Amino acid sequence: MRIQMKVNRTRKICLAFSALSLVTLTTACSTSPKNYKSEGEKFLESNDLTKSAGYHYKYALCDQPQSIQVGTQYACSATDNDGNSWEFIIEITGDRELTVVSGKVVR
């Protein structure tokens, strides 16, 4: 039964990332690695993702990307409303845009 729940969660999160994969940064005029770090954290904790994925994520924490070049990926983690830990990979996909490219339960 536990394995089935993980499969369902993975499916839901994949659907959520498909529906909400693109986030436009709404920070100050200049972007920096720090902006992408904080925007990744905000997105993982957002109500938009909660509605789509069916899980509320909290305690999001992202690494600061090494650069702001398109294609740069960085890691994030968060905890869902069931207390499970998740790991995510976010990719910078354009000027002021990022995409969550993967997410999985790790505990």
pLDDT-derived band at 24, boundaries 50, 70, 90 = low
pTM: 0.73
Which tens digits make up the pLDDT trace of 25-35?
544 445 788 98
The rounded distance, in Å, linking the Cα atoms of 78 and 87 is: 7
CA of 61: how far to CAs of 8, 38, 76, 82, in Å? 24, 8, 5, 18
Instruction: Find, among 93, 103, 82, the residue nearest to 17 by Cα.
Output: 103
Amino acid letter, 94:
G
Which tens digits make up the pLDDT trace of 54-86?
889 999 999 999 999 999 999 999 999 999 999
What range does the domain containing 10 cover? 2-105
Which residue's structure tokens are 């509320």? 56
Q: How many domains does the chain have?
A: 1
* Cβ(78)–Cβ(60) below 8 Å: yes
